[in-house]
Structure 1
Amino acid sequence: MMKEDKTLSIGGLSKLTGCNIETIRYYEKIALLPAPLRTQGGHRLYSNSLQKRLIFICKARGLGFTLEEVRNLLELINGDYSCDEVKHLVLEHLNVVKTKIDELARLQSSLELMASQCAGGDLPDCAAIDSLFEKE
């Protein structure tokens, strides 16, 4: 468990979250992650709240949420929100994921068909390549 007064350097934050240092800087640049306090030498110091926020961002990104969707979720939790509002955003994202799964299943079927049409061998004649020239 992270202590409230424990600050981390950007390297420590990267290690804690598994998030690349350049990605952390990018999140700061686009204001997804607020700028941290800095030492007199200019080194970033990430508070417990920023650590938790980055963990949230990383988990949301890992679930495939876009940066804009993550921003919307963060705006909800930083304001007055209801579980219904969050559920609505999650269900919208779930529909996008289901559509992508359907598209990938069609792609898989097409590739399996192409592979099954290819006899292999040393000849330059290939039914899989030929099928790419045909209109469906």
Structure 2
Amino acid sequence: MYRIGELAKLCGINNDTLRFYEKNALLTPSSRSESGYRLYTDKDKETLHFILRAKGVGFTLAEIQELLSIEVNKADKACMDVKMLVDTKLHNVEKKLAELVRFQTSLKRLSDACCGGEESAEHCTILEALESNTDDVRHEHHDEHLK
């Protein structure tokens, strides 16, 4: 049996993280000592490792809870149930990546259009592009405005 601090140290997390998982019904101590300390078993340690690995690949606490419920009832579930969860997560990650690439492309275009000089931002192409209703970004040349 492990007390909360021992299990936390073994798994490389802090006590508060364990309490947080307990509060969110991901992990419950197997018992309590006479003095009220939380006591965890090796099975609890395995569950905690499962939670940490799932978190490490990007699953949310709600998704981890769903995975744990499947883990507990493996005989009543099919591999396709687990695969569906993973494929849904993968699809969401791919959508986020595509969105980040769009952000990167737009930001790069904005950055490339600006001279970045010490001139007044009165004619800054970045600000003008963000103020306009178009995606058209023209390159900034401050000396044009000085004439």
TM-score (norm 2): 0.79
**Matched ranges for 1:1-136 at <5 A:** 7-79=1-73, 80-125=76-121, 126-136=124-134
Runs of 4+ in 1 over 3 A off after TM superposition: none
In 1, the alpha carbon distance for the partners of 2:70 and 2:14 equals 26
Out of 43-52 and 121-130, give the one that drifted further: 121-130
Matches of 1:84 and 1:99 in 2, distance apart?
22
Read off the aligned partner of 1:81 and give its amino acid letter.
K
Task: Specify the SS of the correspondent of 1:120.
Answer: coil
Residue deviations 1:71-115, cap 9 Å, x none?
111111111222222111111111111111111111111111111
Q: Structure 1 residues 118-127 or 96-105, which shifts more?
A: 118-127
AA aligned opposite 1:132: L
**How far 1:49 sits from its partner (Å)?**
0.9
What is the CA–CA distance in structure 1 between the aligned matches of 2:113 and 2:52, rounded to whole Å? Answer: 42
- RMSD over aligned Cα, in angstroms? 1.7
Q: Contact conserved, 2:2 with 2:40, CA < 8 A, in 1?
A: yes
Structure 2 alignment gaps of length 5 or more = 135-147
| Gap change, CA 1:134 and 1:35, over 3 Å in 2 | farther
Higher relative contact order, structure no. (Cα contacts within 8 Å, ≥ 6 residues apart) = 1
Greater shift, 126-135 or 77-86, is seen at: 126-135
Q: Alignment identity in percent?
A: 40
Corresponding residue pairs, total: 130
- Describe the shift of the 1:36–1:127 C-alpha distance in structure 2 as closer, same or farther (beyond 3 A): farther
TM-score between both structures, scaled by the size of structure 1: 0.84
CA distance in 2, matches of 1:71, 1:48: 19
